[in-house]
Amino acid sequence: MISLSIKEKVKNLLEKYPHLRDSDEKLTANVWFYESQGVDDKFKFLELYASGKLTNAESIRRCRQKIQEECEHLRGTLYCKRQLNQDKIKEQLGY
């Protein structure tokens, strides 16, 4: 089995499933789902997590953030909404 890097896993999921682009929780759950294939017992899953055999959630979030910075087409709809409101928020904050 070929082991993909965290960045490759995250990028593949963002490309294949656009609904994951706006939710780190959903993205993390999907990464962990693929990493824990064949584990049907919740205690085995928790063992994997506790032993560090599942990708760290913060690492997944950081990879998603970096990928979306580099690849505009992988940004979610929330990114666009935030950018549209950016000037109004800056004005409210006095910037």
Residue-wise pLDDT for 19-38, tens only, equals: 999 999 999 999 999 999 98
Pair of tokens at residue 11? 């990028």
Pair of tokens at residue 1? 């089995």
CB atoms near residue 41 (< 10 Å)? 8
Residue 42 lies in a domain: yes
Length of the chain: 95
Structural domain of 12: 6-93
Cα distance between the two ends of the chain: 52
Q: What is the mean pLDDT of residues 54-73?
A: 95
Residue 1 lies in a domain: no
Number of domains the chain is built from: 1
Residue 78 lies in a domain: yes
pTM of this structure: 0.80
Q: What is d(CA 29, CA 72) in angstroms, rounded to the nearest whole number?
A: 23
Q: What is d(CA 33, CA 29) in angstroms, rounded to the nearest whole number?
A: 6
